[in-house]
Amino acid sequence: MHKVQSLAERIINNVERVIYGKRREVELAVIALLCEGHILIEDVPGVGKTMLAKALARSLGCSFKRIQFTPDLLPTDVTGVSVFNQKTLEFEFRPGPIMAQIVLTDEINRATPKTQSALLEAMEERQITVDGVTYSLPRPFLVIATQNPIEYEGTFPLPEAQLDRFLVRLHLGYPSREKELQMLTSQQRHHPIEELEQVATAEELIEAQRLVREVEVDDLVKEYIVALVNTTREHPNVYLGASPRGSLALYHTAQARAAMEGRDFVIPDDVKALAHATLAHRLIISPAARMKNVDPHTVLDEVLAQVPVPGGAARTLVQR
């Protein structure tokens, strides 16, 4: 797993030249890359959501497209459209921005549900269908969606089915005082993104994605993951708990975290470290609990405290 560890370290260190003081969030983004998952970033404007997407693309030398979601955006503006060529007398497919390797969908909740749904097939099946013809998307493929949690006027909240398709949800937050001062200094003459170099290739990432799936997960750890997810479904403050897709998300991200630390086996600490990022956005809190200011993170803290952690057997896997 040293290949995965080395690749992840190179990407993280490179992205940190642009995104200051957010190592954990950058690590989660790289975990999503290694798991072939998608990222939802919910945060206020100006904290570096777009820069994170650009920095990841530059670090890997991947193609990058940005889609600004607005109420008048059409599904064909995302997927592409077939246009009649008068010279050849045939329809030609003009691909939309979704055909890039890393796609930033900015303010996704400002588009109508019809346009939002254009992403579902792309995110889940890595393909799009236009006029009955299916087109495969490039590999690697990553969607990074952003939404502003403050301005809800004129927005269309993402339905549960679409939220469930995001592997992790991140919150970048404001930088510390020291990191913000460092940011001002670094951007005195130009933005550091302009000098960001490629430190890995798409082929290396695809190979790392394959290696991550080989990480061993003990049966006790699998039972721990299922117990955590089942407990969210039975929690009295939860109207709708995490789905089986949530179990898979926690399972695969734990594999990626283990590989990033140079291990070929998962330990319970991997699962605990990723429970909030993978499950919080999948929980729907009951109306009565929301009145008491209960949020998904509070519920997950209770669930993690309640479910017993597997014993020594899960920690004694022999590293190959």
Amino acid letter, residue 217: V
Nearest to 142 by CA among 54, 39, 226, 259: 39
Amino acid letter, residue 13: N
- List where CATH 3.40.50.300 sits in the chain: 2-207
CB 4 within 8 A of CB 212: yes
Amino acid 46: pLDDT: 81
Please state which architecture CATH assigns to domain 2-207: 3-Layer(aba) Sandwich (3.40)
- List where CATH 1.10.8.80 sits in the chain: 215-315
d(CA 34, CA 121): 20
The helix/strand/coil state of 101 is: coil
Q: Is the peptide bond before 97 cis (omega within 30 degrees of 0)?
A: no
Nearest to 7 by CA among 156, 173, 208: 208
Amino acid 260: pLDDT: 95
**Which CATH number, 3.40.50.2300, 1.10.8.80, 3.30.70.141, 1.10.569.10, labels domain 215-315?**
1.10.8.80
d(CA 32, CA 56): 11
d(CA 71, CA 56): 28
Sign of the C-alpha dihedral computed for residues 83, 84, 86 and 89 taken in this order: positive
Nearest-5° Cα angle at 99, 98 to 102: 75
Contacts of 297 (CB under 8 A, 6+ apart): 276, 280
Averages of pLDDT over runs of 10 residues in the chain (320 residues) are 90 92 93 94 84 92 92 90 84 89 90 85 87 89 85 70 89 88 87 90 93 94 95 92 94 96 93 94 91 91 92 48
Amino acid 154: pLDDT: 58
> Which two structure tokens, joined as six digits, stand for 235?
């929690």
Contacts of 102 (CB under 8 A, 6+ apart): 53, 56, 57, 60, 62, 63, 64, 65, 140, 141, 142, 144
d(CA 83, CA 81): 6
Q: Characterize the bridge pairing of strands 168-170 and 80-85.
A: unpaired
Which residues of 86-132 form beta strands (DSSP E)?
A: 90-95, 102-106, 127-130
Amino acid 317: pLDDT: 47
Helix 2-15 and helix 244-260: axis angle, to 10°? Answer: 90
Helix 268-279 and helix 244-260: axis angle, to 10°? Answer: 130
Q: What is the pTM of this model?
A: 0.88
Helix 23-34 and helix 2-15: axis angle, to 10°? Answer: 130
d(CA 123, CA 40): 12
Amino acid 150: pLDDT: 62
C-alpha dihedral over 295, 301, 302, 305, to 10 degrees? 180
* Burial bucket for residue 230 (CB in 10 Å: 0-12, 13-18, 19+): middle
